[in-house]
Amino acid sequence: MNNILSCLEGAKTVMIAGHTRPDGDCVGACMGLWHYIRDNYPYIQADVRLEPVPDSYKVIKGVEQIISDYEDDRTYDLFIALDASDKERLAGAKKYFDTAEHTICIDHHISNSGFADENLVLPNASSTCEVLTGLMDIDGISYDAAVALYIGIICDTGVFKYSCTSHRTMDMAGCLMEKGIPYSDLIDDTFYRKSFKQNKILGFALDKCSLVLDGRMIMCILERKELDQFEAGHGDLEGVIDQLRLTKGIEVALLASAADGETTKYKFSMRSNHYADVAAVAAEFGGGGHIRAAGFSAAGDIKEIYGRVEKLIKEQLDTCTME
C-alpha cells in the first residue's frame, strides 16, 4: 500500500478532492499532492476541486486555482479522494468520483470503510497530510508542497498538542521543516492569527457559552441571525471550538452553528479532552471524525437536535466516569 501513488504513473488526468467544508488538513493534503504532481509528473493534468476555502489557508500557493464549482461533466483517469471518510462527504465532487476510470482514497479517519478502488486509511496517523508525506519521495517534495502539508499537520494536531500526535508525526513535520519553510509564521498565520471579525465572533461565542452536565461539558449554539450580525460565515468560526475545549474542568466542548445561508440546518463540532468518544456521538447523526474530534450536520429544530446530542454525550460521560 505504500506504493499507492504509483497509480499516478499511468494517468494523464487526475482529479483531487476532499470533504465538504474543507479544513486545514483537507486543503493542505489536496494542495500538497497537487504541487507534488506538478513538480514530479509534468505530463499529468491535475485539478483540485473543493468548496471555497477559509482565508487562513490562502497562504498556500496555488489555492486560487482550486475549482469550486461542479457544473461541467469532465471525466478523469484517476480520482484521488483525500481526508474524506465516505463518498457522500465529497459533496459535489462525488459525480467525478463515479465517472473516473480509477479511484483512490487516502485518509486517516477511523470511520472510513474504504469506498474507493484502492484505499489507504491509517487511523493512527495524526492527519491525511502526515499519511501523504510518508508516501511521497522526500526529495520530490518542493517548498510549496511542504508548506501545504505542514499546515495540514499543524491544524489536525492543534500544533502538536492533540493526542493524535506521535513520534512519526514529528518526524514527518521535521522533514517538511527541512525544506526551509517559515514554520513559525505558518503556525501564527493559520492557527492563531485572527481577523477582527473572527475575534469579535469568538468573544460573542465565549460570552454566550454555558456549562452543562454538571460542568462536564461546555456548549454554544450560534443562530443564523447572530452570525449575520457579524457578517460571519463558517470559515470565521475557525478556532472557536478549540478555545472552548481549553475551558478548565470540562471534558467535552460542543459548538453548533447555523450552516452558511441556512436557518434550520446546523453544523455541530465536538471535542473531548481525555476519554469521551465524540466520534460515536457524531456517527448517530451520519457524521464522523476522530474519538477526540468529530462533527456532523443536521437539519430541524435546534432544541430537539441539541437535546438528542446532549443525551448521547451524557451517556458517554456517565459510562466513562463509571469505568
Q: Pick the closest to residue 117 from 66, 57, 77 (CA basis).
A: 77
Mean pLDDT, range 301-313, rounded to an integer: 97
Give the position of cell 486543503: 27
Dist. CA 131–CA 209, nearest whole Å: 36
> Minimum mean pLDDT among 17-26, 152-161, 163-172, 256-265: which range?
256-265
Q: What is the DSSP secondary-structure string of 261-318?
A: T-SSEEEEEEEESSS--HHHHHHTTT-EE-SSEEEEEEES-HHHHHHHHHHHHHHHHH
Sheet order of strands, 265-272 included: 210-212, 217-222, 252-258, 265-272, 293-299, 288-289
Mean pLDDT, range 189-216, rounded to an integer: 94
Which comes out higher in pLDDT, residue 283 or 321? 283
pLDDT above 70 for 322? no
Dist. CA 33–CA 132, nearest whole Å: 8
State the CB neighbour count (10 A cutoff) for residue 135.
Answer: 17
Domains detected in the chain: 4-192 (3.90.1640.10), 196-322 (3.10.310.30)
pLDDT for the residue 2:
60
pLDDT above 50 for 152? yes
Mean pLDDT, range 169-189, rounded to an integer: 97
Helix axes 143-157, 128-135, angle to 10 degrees: 140
For 105-123, the pLDDT digits (tens) are: 999 988 888 999 999 999 9
Q: Do residues 50 and 22 lie in contact, with contact meaning Cβ atoms separated by under 8 Å?
A: yes
pLDDT for the residue 321:
62
For 208-225, the pLDDT digits (tens) are: 999 999 999 999 999 999
For 23-36, the pLDDT digits (tens) are: 999 999 999 999 99
pLDDT above 80 for 232? yes
